[in-house]
Amino acid sequence: MKKIIVKGYDITKTIRHGLTPEQYIELMEYQNFECPLSGVKFVYSQEKQKFLDLNKKSPPIDHDHETEFIRGILSEKVNWLERQWELGSYGKLSKPPELTEYQKRPPSFQCIGRIKYK
């Protein structure tokens, strides 16, 4: 397997879903290496060749399931929560305004543009 190193980060084992290695690191930098909704920090693991969240999970790349545009990189739990709002799993509960703002103005649109999830 060919090594993928960008700005000193070996992200060879990182699943990027359509982002180039450079776009992935640019988005991480734009988000200050943290989940834009929860503030959970993403820590680079040289051993695993990827970033991890608090639960030692690779942070998923979030995307809009209708347009398929990538929105940002979220912590695993926040990504799951966000998807449940889209599916209407929370019934009458109001969607948090931070989530609505994130969906309207995703970090990826602001720093790397509109890129389709693969």
CA distance 114 to 107: 10
d(CA 98, CA 2): 39
- Quote the CA–CA distance of 71 and 57 in Å, as a whole number: 19
Q: Is the pLDDT of residue 88 over 90?
A: no
Q: What letter represents residue 41's amino acid? A: K
What pTM was computed for the model? 0.93
Residue 90 lies in a domain: yes
pLDDT-based confidence at residue 72 (cuts at 50, 70, 90) = very high
pLDDT in tens, 5-49: 999 999 999 999 999 999 999 999 999 999 999 999 999 999 999
- Exposed e or buried b for every residue in 6-33, given b needs 16+ CB within 10 A? beebbbeebebeebebebbbbbbebbee
* Weakest-pLDDT range from 18-22, 42-46, 52-56, 68-72: 52-56
The per-residue pLDDT for 13 is 92
Q: Which helix (H) or strand (E) holds 110?
A: helix 107-111
pLDDT, residue 115, reads 97
The range of the structural domain enclosing residue 88 comes to 5-111
- Residue 117 belongs to some domain of the structure: no
- As a 3-state breakdown, the chain gives helix, strand, coil percent values, each rounded to 5, of 30, 20, 55
User: Is 33 a domain residue?
Assistant: yes
What is the number of structural domains in the chain? 1
Note whether residue 118 is domain-resident.
no
- Asked if 82 contacts 74 with a C-beta cutoff of 8 angstroms, the reply is yes
